[in-house]
Structure 1
Amino acid sequence: MIALEFTTFLGRFHPLFVHLPIGFLFLAIVLEWYESFKKTETKSKLIPIAWLLGALSASGAAISGWFLGETGLYEEEHLFAHRWLGIALVIFSFAGWYLKSKPKAFPIKLQHGFNIVLLAMLFIEGHKGGNLTHGETYLTEYAPAPIQKLLGGGEDIDTRPQFSNPDSVQVYADLVAPIFEAKCVGCHNDQIKRGGLNMSHPDSLLLGGESENVITSGNTQESELFRRITLPPKNIKFMPPTNNALTYDEIKTVEWWIEQGAPFEASLSSLEVADNIKPVLLRRYGIDTNEKPWYETVQLAPLDSTKLAALVQNGFEVKTLGPDNPLLDIKYSGTDLTNEKLASLKEVKEYITWLSLADSNVEDNWLSIVSEFSNLTRLQLEKTAVSDKGVAHLSNLTHLEALNLYGTQVTDACLPDIEKISSLKRVYLWQTGVSSQTAKSTQENNKKLEIVIGKG
């Protein structure tokens, strides 16, 4: 542990050393070219001295850089080329020092060629070091669009999948694993296991690493992985230790997954989606987990216009919900409704989602016809003679969400049948025979149902 801390201490000197060889070597090459331009016969002794100082400082930069790389603060796939090109630069610098120490022993073209190669190596090595420190888009992020296009930058390629159906989403495979793949697996994989941790597969992730409790199901505070990704970025243990840190949405996704027990096989529909994660799923993946009315989920072919015309002739007002939704909003006004007229609605029964028979002369037994409207979500029976017997016919409506019985003849006896309608969210019972006390008791037993009974 002491040795590791000491090498980390030495590694921190890399930023100090790394600029010295650039200055020394660049100075040596510029001085040499200046003397060549002036056609000086005797080369300055400062040239080989500058090459030697450049080689020595490059050695210090390479050694401290090697130690810094061993801390695990950089992604291995980017570190490899930078590290070994630095070693090659040290060797090349010492070779250059030897070459420049005996300028008359080697051809001028060889010496100039050596200078050009070294400058190219310095440029590439510096660029790779900058990418490690600042990220690959550091140079091009604010460049004009033509330059970004020329250099291959500026294109924000979003590889995040978009899902249209929440039921098909596997939480780990589709939401969490891509985050780990993009931000963590570069240093925690089958070949490179920083801290002894392999995050390439669920099994290896569960095995953990040198730190205990990498993931504690249902507890983010005890999960070392979550603690690391939420530390202050300047903390030595912050992960990932690059500019490719997890975004707010990614952190919230991982947090929610751990809180749900960190399942590897669960689908999105099988987990509880809290209110604070809903906007994240919508913003990041296009997944809308808010409950939709049934009529927005039904897919039916458009109706024949002749069927709609026949309903209008029977006195019904008929509207579709929209140009892209063929479901029907049907209303009957008047006291001349008959059982036969109501039965004519059977021709379009799967299309009826809103039905108003308010202020009509509808009878209890006629509601057996309404019970066949499988996609009915809203039924208005206010100010009719409907009683408890009529409500009993409605208990089979599996998608009914709103029922208006205001001003009808129903009593407390209708409440058991109303409770049978599991999809029902709201029922209006004011100015009926239902008592406030009984309604209150029913609502306490059914938290999803709102009973609006009024005061009178």
Structure 2
Amino acid sequence: MELSILLNTGVTDNPSDILIFFGRIHPLVVHFPIGFLILAALVEITTKWAKFQPLKNYIHYLWGLGSISSLFAILFGYFLSLSGDYNENTVFLHKWSGVALFLFSSICYYISKRQIKLPFYGKSILILIIVFTVFYTGHLGGNLTHGSTYLFEYAPNSIRSLVGMPKKEIPRKKVTVLDSADVYLDLISPIMNNRCVSCHNQDKKKGDLDLTSYANLMKGGENGDVVIPNDAEASDFYRRITLPESHDDFMPSEGKKPLTKNEVLLIGWWINNNAPSNGYFSQLNPDKEIISKAKNILGLDKNNLFNKKVSPPKKEIIDSLSSQGFILNKLMKDNYYLEANFSLSEKSITPKGFETILQLKGQLIWLNLNHSNITDEYLMKIGQLENLIKLNVSRNNISDKGLMHLSGLQNLESLNLYETNVSDSLLTVIPKLINLKRLYLSGSKANDSIINELKKKNEKLRIIFD
């Protein structure tokens, strides 16, 4: 009686919340028939060997459990399909292949229970059909959840052709200069693909919304347009991604990772600039904040040095530096970037050592010369190590004159000037170090006025100063 109440007239047009609730149990129970039926098939095979013959007495239980659990999966799957968020053709095939699986497994249960022998390898053929149906039904379920291209998205073109899929599209070249970025293809579309398309595609159109292309996005969903050009606040798409995560309308739903603040800000800016389908990012006259967010999303605010491959250093150079007191470490498994550390040496550093280290200017990215008795003259050599990312020259007798030699280190991210004599030259040199993220000035000659001025000009720079 309860079931008849649930399946009242018009339920398929406007399913009740309780039906959708039961429908969402489908992903929990759908794995039980898969496990039971595959296990039953394996036991059927293993009982061909004498030592596994005792298992024959239990096979019908596995077929029975597989049959019953598949019935529950069908029922809950039907309730889930009533939400109307899925491709109708795929749902139809998924549903009836599930029904076929229930029937075939029920037949196997009856045959095993009654120990009926079928002629012409009949049972073996039936088991093969069941195994195939399990995989086929699961594949269709995966299509409904992740989209029809999910399984073969990364398959070789030869396999894609066999299943009727087009060859892989040639991926867009990685954007290396922001001015060359297409506003939709390089910025907005990748955000949609990463955050939204899993629930809004041709096979799973939640809210009747497909976000796999610009044209489909602009078609909107069941409630009309979701993007109103030049008005982000009136756009339902923007409204949903800016709601509190606890709100029922917040997107993405179902516990999926929300968009970052940078992604939300960029989408709002894009909509307010007429939501174009193409065109260079720079043509929309972005302000400094939007440029910064776009660089972050494209990874252009990161050091591109690691994208380069460097050749291995010559053994004689490594041996020479080691004999002079340097400790050298390889920093990456698949590249030859190095760290050179002289701070633990009991020897005195020499001009010869610096001449040798210049031969590693391509590989050297970390250099530690803490308390190594270097002077301003040595900084002239260090300034030629253009790939340096991390430099520690703390507790050395270096001054503003020597610091000026470091202004060309464009890859430098960390600079330690603890207990040095640097002061006013910081205001000239530090702004030129465009990738600098951390600056250590405790115990130096810098004063509060210099520190405050540096902070004003470099808001993202972390300055350690006591």
Q: In the alignment, what sits opposite 2:416?
A: 404
Cα contact 2:427–2:453 (8 A) shared by 1: no
Please give the TM-score of this superposition, normalised by the length of structure 1: 0.53
Tell whether 2:281 aligns with 1:272: no
1:125-180 Cα deviation digits (max 9, x unpaired): x9998785276356859989985742412233652979999748724444537956
Q: In the alignment, what sits opposite 2:60?
A: none
Percent identical pairs in the alignment equals 22
Which residue of 68, 82, 86 maps to 1:133?
A: 82
Q: In the alignment, what sits opposite 2:200?
A: 183
Q: How many residues align?
A: 313
C-alpha distance in 2, partners of 1:410/1:128? 71
Tell whether 2:337 aligns with 1:319: no
Q: In the alignment, what sits opposite 1:379?
A: 391
What SS does structure 1 have at the residue aligned with 2:352? helix
Which residue of 150, 156, 163 maps to 2:133?
A: 150
Tell whether 2:270 aligns with 1:261: yes
- What amino acid maps onto 1:422 in structure 2? I
TM alignment of 1:167-206, pairs within 5 A: 167=175, 170-176=186-192, 183=200, 202=214, 206=218
Cα distance, 1:259 vs. partner?
2.4
1:260-297 Cα deviation digits (max 9, x unpaired): 42453478x9672799xx8xxxxxxxx9x697566644
Cα distance, 1:202 vs. partner?
3.4
Cα distance, 1:323 vs. partner?
3.2
Which residue of 438, 450, 457 maps to 1:438?
A: 450
Cα contact 2:410–2:432 (8 A) shared by 1: no
Cα distance, 1:395 vs. partner?
0.2
Q: In the alignment, what sits opposite 1:341?
A: 353
What SS does structure 2 have at the residue aligned with 1:412? coil
Cα distance, 1:362 vs. partner?
1.7
- What amino acid maps onto 1:259 in structure 2? G
C-alpha distance in 2, partners of 1:204/1:377? 45
- What amino acid maps onto 1:311 in structure 2? L
Cα distance, 1:442 vs. partner?
1.9
Cα contact 1:391–1:418 (8 A) shared by 2: no
- What amino acid maps onto 2:192 in structure 1? V
TM alignment of 1:27-426, pairs within 5 A: 132-133=81-82, 136=91, 137=94, 140=98, 147=130, 149-151=132-134, 152-155=136-139, 156=142, 159=150, 167=175, 170-176=186-192, 183=200, 202=214, 206=218, 214-217=226-229, 221-224=233-236, 249=256, 252=259, 258-262=267-271, 263=275, 264-265=277-278, 272=293, 296-332=306-342, 333=345, 336-426=348-438
C-alpha distance in 2, partners of 1:418/1:229? 38
Cα distance, 1:312 vs. partner?
1.5
Cα contact 1:229–1:246 (8 A) shared by 2: no
Cα contact 2:368–2:392 (8 A) shared by 1: yes
C-alpha distance in 2, partners of 1:219/1:407? 54
Please give the TM-score of this superposition, normalised by the length of structure 2: 0.52
1:92-126 Cα deviation digits (max 9, x unpaired): xxxxxxxxxxxxxxxxxxxxxxxxxxxxxxxxxx9
- What amino acid maps onto 2:381 in structure 1? I
From the superposition, tell whether residues 330 and 170 of structure 1 become closer, same or farther in structure 2 (CA, over 3 Å). Answer: same
What SS does structure 2 have at the residue aligned with 1:153? helix
1:59-102 Cα deviation digits (max 9, x unpaired): xxxxx89998xxxxxxxxxxxxxxxxxxxxxxxxxxxxxxxxxx
Q: In the alignment, what sits opposite 2:113?
A: none
C-alpha distance in 1, partners of 2:172/2:327? 35
C-alpha distance in 2, partners of 1:436/1:351? 37
Structure 2: stretches of 5+ with no match in the other structure? 15-74, 106-126, 155-170, 177-184, 244-248, 282-289
CA RMSD in angstroms comes to 5.3
Cα contact 1:378–1:402 (8 A) shared by 2: yes
From the superposition, tell whether residues 404 and 270 of structure 1 become closer, same or farther in structure 2 (CA, over 3 Å). Answer: closer
Q: In the alignment, what sits opposite 1:74?
A: none
C-alpha distance in 1, partners of 2:400/2:193? 55
C-alpha distance in 2, partners of 1:229/1:293? 30
What SS does structure 2 have at the residue aligned with 1:451? strand
Structure 1: stretches of 5+ with no match in the other structure? 1-12, 18-63, 69-125, 189-193, 232-237, 239-244, 279-286
1:365-384 Cα deviation digits (max 9, x unpaired): 22222111121011111111
What SS does structure 2 have at the residue aligned with 1:355? strand
Cα distance, 1:330 vs. partner?
0.5
1:356-399 Cα deviation digits (max 9, x unpaired): 12222222122222111121011111111111111000000001
Cα contact 2:197–2:210 (8 A) shared by 1: no
Question: Bigger radius of gyration, 1 or 2?
Answer: 1
C-alpha distance in 1, partners of 2:356/2:387? 17
Cα contact 1:206–1:215 (8 A) shared by 2: yes
1:286-337 Cα deviation digits (max 9, x unpaired): x9x6975666444323333333112223332211114333111112235632
From the superposition, tell whether residues 270 and 420 of structure 1 become closer, same or farther in structure 2 (CA, over 3 Å). Answer: closer
C-alpha distance in 1, partners of 2:442/2:436? 17
- What amino acid maps onto 2:293 in structure 1? E
C-alpha distance in 1, partners of 2:253/2:133? 28
C-alpha distance in 1, partners of 2:441/2:241? 53
Tell whether 2:466 aligns with 1:450: no
- What amino acid maps onto 1:183 in structure 2? H
